Structure 1
Amino acid sequence: MSAPRLSPTTARPSSRRLWLGYAGVCTLTWGLFVLAGTEFQSGPWKIWEALLQSTMTLWAPMLLGTAVHPWMGWISRRSRPFWQLALLHAGAALLFSGVWLVLDYQLTQALFGTEHADAMLAQYILWRAIWGLIAYAALATGFGAVFSAQRARSLAIAAAQAESALARAELSVISGKLNPHFLFNTLNSLIALTRKDARAAEQALLRFSGMLRYVLDSKRSATDRVGLQQELDFVRDYLALEALRLGARLRVTWTLDDAVLQDEVPPLTLQPLVENCIVHGIAPRVQGGTIQISAQRDALNGGLNLCVQDDGEGCDPAQLEAERPGRSGIGLGALRRRFALDYDGRARLRVHTQPGAGFRVDLWIPQEA
């Protein structure tokens, strides 16, 4: 996978910061040279002489440093063996020193004449060559670090984009798993009901058609949101269908805050939890049981607190942690993974259960301000 290219609006500020930083380093270096060559006891003349000497010494490598940047960019665009890199940098360092000497000689010749320029060249050629190699090494290291940081950032962005795409795809698959699971159980309930009461079955089919419309609409996208009121209406229809089968064995209590009914939730958030309560907590017991459903505003952070619990037999929490087949069911396992992926991982799902103590699932869903 190739690294993503930065857009022009992103690249310009980054390039501006780079050259502002380069100008700052050059200014700092020039200032240190001035201080190193200044003799304050000798008066203003020595200060001006230090300023002139520092400028004459550093203007050429500072100018040449701007050419090292594209050179390092060209080198960093493809990987090369170490020996090739060593040869390329050795040649570039010699060229850098040579051009520095030429520029320094021409400026000195233009200001003070050929004789003075020849004398200065003979006096400083060795040291200028050595300083040229050192200056090139410092510039190549600095610009190389910049390109390495940019490449690492591009790779991090590409990895984040790939992870996000994978999360969205996995979330779509998880959302798709919920619907067949629900449909299979509901159709079984309707088949059983048609053998007992045709009129009740007809009413149930009308409810079921409305539920099916909700399910089909919710499959538009895994990241779709629906109002909590819609989700609750869907759950009420589902419970009405199950009540036709379970009768008085199924009891439901609601604790709903009117202020949260317009909050948004992922579709099919509550129904799998209610289904688990019925399948594992209510239906196996002769006396049935009670399902409690609550929706409240979180006073601390403004999120939505949802709770679904039953007073059934519960189960061993270790069984859930091991993700073994059992009480967790397809719906709860998918919801757990769904909430780990959705809302950038901020949504929370917690399970509280013990053998003989019922089963409770708490959800916290963030809400936009």
Structure 2
Amino acid sequence: MTQASRPFRSLWTRRQGLRQWLHGAAAAFLWCLLIGLVLAGVSGWRDFWHNILYSVCIGMCCWGLIDASFRGLAYAMRKGRPCPEGAEQEWPGLPWIALAVIFGSVGGFSIGQQLGDLISGLHTRSLWSAQWSHAAAMLTVTGVASLVATAFFYTRHRMAAAQVEAEHARRVAAETQLLLLQAQLEPHMLFNTLANLRVLIGLDTARAQAMLDQLIAFLRATLEASRVGHHALRDEFARLRDYLSLMQVRMGERLQARFELPDELASLQLPALLLQPLVENAIKHGLEPKIEGGTLSVQARMQGEDCLLVVSDSGRGHFPAADTAGTGFGLQQVRERLQARYGEAAGLSLSYPPDGGCRIEIHIPRRLMTAPAPAASP
């Protein structure tokens, strides 16, 4: 994180913490209203507003003291270190929770009762001057209500923590899968290119030497790109241009390339070299076997809320049966990378236009491409 971004991240974290605290306060307030309604019903709906007033005052004071106790204990257990950015406020152990509930119930009742007297103008008997049985009953009601509310908040916290852990495990699994798929992509691309070079050496030594020079520059840029895990669409198109320039050394005028990338889409992020296998397939199965060659087109445009990426060629048409079924390396590898990164939100479709050639479309929601994808850890 840069120095300039820290204040914004800190502000965002504080806002998240405030939002969580407000949600807790709202839930506690509704719980106090419910208890007030129950007490009013038990008393025959006499002094309805007084029951509501004292229930809210006492309950919110109890919640405030208990919540403050939890935060203070957690802060002390971290030895004065602040809560890490993005982390939810942790809870202390059950013994400390029990002590905090007892302290909050007794202190909250006393403070809330005085607050209720101040607002209503009444003078109720305090907890310490009441008879033992009456004081015990009041503390029992307050303690049970505080315990139930604390159990609710604790359960919600544990469920949220479990959800965060599950999401983290899912993300790590997806990143690991992306890393394995990327490791497959690099040698596959290299072997295909070397096979093309081997064929050209036997046909035209001068062109083979030019292709070798182009290959060295291409591999330097491409292997560097493959290490970042993700990059902008402009970088993806740049790597494809490098690859097609390399193929044009071999195929000459038989290969024509066309790129369409609107400026407003150039900064969108996607997994590095995602389109590379599709371009390789288009040349190997579509354009190269065709005597007169043809045109390969790579386009990016918006289609509704999705970014549509299209790789099309005017080659001979149908891929081999394995690729058409999605079990060949090219289509399978791209499909798996899309699934690992975007789940069911993205998809790939293959079609054969009536005028010949092959067309592959990838759709990805633009909202998922506006920030860099999480890089897989090596």
Which residue, 123, 131, 134 being the options, matches 1:121? 131
Q: Which runs of 5+ in 1 are unaligned?
A: 1-6, 40-46, 81-87, 105-110
- Cα distance in structure 2, aligned partners of 1:198 and 1:261: 43
Please report how far the alpha carbon of residue 208 of structure 1 lies from its aligned counterpart in structure 2 after TM superposition.
Answer: 1.2
Identity among equivalent positions (%) equals 18
Quick one: which amino acid aligns to residue 205 of structure 2? Answer: A
What does residue 325 of structure 2 align with? 320
**What pairs with 1:64-103 in structure 2 (closer than 5 Å)?**
none
Output one character per residue of 1:182-205: Cα deviation in whole Å (capped at 9) or x when no partner.
111211222222222221111111
Is 59-68 or 173-182 further displaced after alignment? 59-68
Which residue, 178, 199, 206 being the options, matches 1:171? 178
Q: Does 1:239 align with 2:239?
A: no
CA change 1:153–1:64 in 2 (3 A) is closer
Q: Does 1:300 align with 2:304?
A: yes
Please report how far the alpha carbon of residue 170 of structure 1 lies from its aligned counterpart in structure 2 after TM superposition.
Answer: 2.4
CA change 1:79–1:190 in 2 (3 A) is farther
CA change 1:37–1:54 in 2 (3 A) is farther
Q: Does 1:144 align with 2:174?
A: no
- Cα distance in structure 2, aligned partners of 1:214 and 1:344: 29
**What pairs with 1:1-369 in structure 2 (closer than 5 Å)?**
10-19=16-25, 21-23=27-29, 25-26=31-32, 29-30=35-36, 121=131, 125=133, 129=136, 132-225=139-232, 227=234, 229-243=237-251, 251-252=254-255, 254-257=257-260, 259=262, 263-264=266-267, 266-282=271-287, 285=289, 287=291, 290=294, 292-298=296-302, 300-301=304-305, 303-309=307-313, 310-314=315-319, 320=325, 323=327, 328-329=328-329, 331-342=330-341, 346-352=345-351, 359-365=358-364, 366=366, 368=370
Quick one: which amino acid aligns to residue 221 of structure 1? Answer: V
Please report how far the alpha carbon of residue 176 of structure 1 lies from its aligned counterpart in structure 2 after TM superposition.
Answer: 2.7
- Cα distance in structure 2, aligned partners of 1:131 and 1:32: 14
Output one character per residue of 1:326-367: Cα deviation in whole Å (capped at 9) or x when no partner.
xx22x332221222234677543222369xx76431123536
CA contact (8 A) 1:350 1:361 kept: yes
Instruction: Give me the CA root mean square deviation.
Output: 5.1
Please report how far the alpha carbon of residue 295 of structure 1 lies from its aligned counterpart in structure 2 after TM superposition.
Answer: 1.2
Output one character per residue of 1:7-46: Cα deviation in whole Å (capped at 9) or x when no partner.
776445423542454356446755875795776xxxxxxx
Quick one: which amino acid aligns to residue 234 of structure 1? Answer: D
Output one character per residue of 1:44-65: Cα deviation in whole Å (capped at 9) or x when no partner.
xxx7xx8779888997777666
CA change 1:350–1:37 in 2 (3 A) is same
Please report how far the alpha carbon of residue 313 of structure 1 lies from its aligned counterpart in structure 2 after TM superposition.
Answer: 3.3
- Cα distance in structure 2, aligned partners of 1:261 and 1:64: 54
CA contact (8 A) 1:352 1:361 kept: yes
Quick one: which amino acid aligns to residue 159 of structure 2? Answer: A
- Cα distance in structure 2, aligned partners of 1:112 and 1:197: 104
- Cα distance in structure 2, aligned partners of 1:149 and 1:129: 30
- Cα distance in structure 1, aligned partners of 2:54 and 2:186: 77
- Cα distance in structure 2, aligned partners of 1:57 and 1:302: 52
Is 293-302 or 55-64 further displaced after alignment? 55-64
- Cα distance in structure 1, aligned partners of 2:56 and 2:348: 63
- Cα distance in structure 2, aligned partners of 1:70 and 1:261: 49
- Cα distance in structure 1, aligned partners of 2:203 and 2:54: 103
Q: Which entry has the higher C-alpha Rg, 1 or 2?
A: 1
- Cα distance in structure 1, aligned partners of 2:266 and 2:55: 69
In the comparison of the two structures, how many residue pairs are matched? Answer: 322
- Cα distance in structure 2, aligned partners of 1:261 and 1:138: 56
Please report how far the alpha carbon of residue 161 of structure 1 lies from its aligned counterpart in structure 2 after TM superposition.
Answer: 2.4
Output one character per residue of 1:147-170: Cα deviation in whole Å (capped at 9) or x when no partner.
111121122122222322332332
Quick one: which amino acid aligns to residue 246 of structure 2? Answer: Y
CA contact (8 A) 1:316 1:353 kept: no
Please report how far the alpha carbon of residue 146 of structure 1 lies from its aligned counterpart in structure 2 after TM superposition.
Answer: 0.9
- Cα distance in structure 1, aligned partners of 2:294 and 2:161: 54
Q: Secondary structure at the match of 1:341?
A: helix
Q: Secondary structure at the match of 2:283?
A: helix
CA change 1:295–1:68 in 2 (3 A) is closer
CA change 1:287–1:62 in 2 (3 A) is closer
Please report how far the alpha carbon of residue 368 of structure 1 lies from its aligned counterpart in structure 2 after TM superposition.
Answer: 4.3
CA contact (8 A) 1:61 1:132 kept: no
Quick one: which amino acid aligns to residue 155 of structure 1? Answer: A
Q: Secondary structure at the match of 2:230?
A: coil
CA change 1:334–1:78 in 2 (3 A) is farther
Q: Which runs of 5+ in 2 are unaligned?
A: 1-12, 74-90, 114-122, 372-378
